[in-house]
Amino acid sequence: MSAPRLFNRLALIGVGLIGSSIAHAARAQGAVGSIVATARSAATRRRVAELGLADQVVETNTAAVEGADLVIVCIPVGACGAVAAEIGAHLTPGAIVSDVGSVKGAVLRDMAPHIPAGVHFVPAHPVAGTEHSGPDAGFAELFVNRWCILTPPPDADAAAVERLAAFWSLIGANVETMPAEHHDLVLGITSHLPHLIAYTIVGTADELAQVTRSEVLRFSAGGFRDFTRIAASDPTMWRDVFLANKDAVLEMLGRFSEDLSTLTRAIRRGDGDTLFDHFTRTRAIRRGIVEIGQDSPAPDFGRPHPGLPHEPLPRPYSAEE
């Protein structure tokens, strides 16, 4: 039995990791009749056409949204307001406009004023990604068993929210709905702060005088390597995330600094009990993540290990990535 076609024409504005993954997944599931795509640069538009990611690649954002009943803006959050202003007058009545930005309060604030009456605005954030960018980076399974959080404004049309939820479900995601401010707080601790820590520690290691850069690289499997993967994420995207989610990130950073001071004091005083109790609690959180299927229990060596008696890690964690 073939899957239901949920939308006739999907317009993708921005075709990087997330936009191209949506294109792959929507095609694979037959979720839309056709896909029209555009990107800021001619080079990306050309690559999107070469990869055959869309039925039609157009030069402007306004041309992309003409006749589309689903428009998904897949660009850095700092650029969403300007794009909404550009496309507002060209949207089709009854269409759903959404985005995939990692911050929701700022996107709602910047985009909503430009969406005309009769067009439904339902912001979204697929909590799925890799450290890779651009149209070549996408794959159809990116959203499978990952969460997509919808943050509809309080007066959003319930049927439109349901239609968008059905789209994300069809391409593999579990869908959750919450207010934008709550989303920003949750993601502040689960995503934004970890990225800030990774960016910091990799920078700190790079600036050490007593330890050479080649030593840092050679002995990275001691823990550093895992931070470098996160710290390789797109600089533009993450600059925009921290600027757009300033309040929540500062709140979480304050709590983090207090906890770091506690552990610092425990190390200085030789207080092993405090360290042990803390590490025991955090280990349980890791086990919880594995139990609910958000990561694999297999050891991650960061390289192929064919002799191991376990299933290959699911993408995006597989060694071939």
Please choose, out of 22-30, 34-42, 157-165, 296-304, the segment that lies near ligand NAP by the rule CB under 6 A. 34-42
**134 near ligand NAP, judged by CB under 6 A:** yes
Q: Which of 17, 164, 171, 249 binds ligand NAP (CB under 6 A)?
A: 17
315 part of the interface to ligand NAP, by CB under 6 A: no
**Residue 214 tokens, joined:** 């080649």
Q: What is the smallest separation between the CB atom of 297 and ligand NAP, expressed in angstroms?
A: 23
71 near 123, Cβ under 8 Å? Answer: no
Say how far apart CA 263 and CA 219 lie, in whole Å: 24
Kindly identify the residues of this chain, within the stretch 63-92, that bind ligand NAP according to CB under 6 A.
Answer: 74-77, 79, 83
The site for ligand NAP, by CB under 6 A, has a size of: 27
Indicate which single residue of 6, 10, 15, 198 sits in contact with ligand NAP (rule: CB under 6 A).
15
**Which three-class secondary structure state does DSSP give residue 47?**
helix
Q: Are 69 and 93 in contact (CB under 8 A)?
A: no
Give the x/- contact pattern for ligand NAP in 237-276, rule: CB under 6 A.
x---x-----------------------------------
Q: Which amino acid makes up residue 104?
A: K
Say if residue 179 is preceded by a cis peptide, omega within 30 of 0.
no
Among 34, 6, 40, 10, CA closest to 135: 40
**3-class DSSP state for residue 147?**
strand
**Residue whose pair of structure tokens reads 């969403």 in the numeric block:** 80
Using the rule CB under 6 A, is 316 a contact of ligand NAP?
A: no
How far is CA 79 from each of CA 112, 185, 252, 253, rounded to the nearest angstrom?
Answer: 14, 21, 25, 25
DSSP letter (8 states) at residue 114: G
- 44 part of the interface to ligand NAP, by CB under 6 A: yes
The window from 12-20, 178-186, 280-288, 299-307 that contacts ligand NAP (CB under 6 A) reads: 12-20
Answer yes or no whether residue 106 interacts with ligand NAP by CB under 6 A: no
Among 10, 31, 114, 133, binds ligand NAP (CB under 6 A): 133
Comparing CA positions, the residue from 148, 156, 150 lying closest to residue 121 is 156
In the list 10, 14, 143, 149, the residue contacting ligand NAP (rule: CB under 6 A) is: 14
Say how many C-beta atoms besides its own lie within 10 A of residue 46's C-beta. Answer: 13
Residue type, 276: F
The residue from 7, 10, 11, 16 that contacts ligand NAP (CB under 6 A) is 16
- Measured from the CB atom, is 225 or 229 closer to ligand NAP? 229
Sites of contact with ligand NAP (CB under 6 A): 14-19, 39-41, 44, 74-77, 79, 83, 100-102, 125-126, 129, 133-134, 234, 237, 241
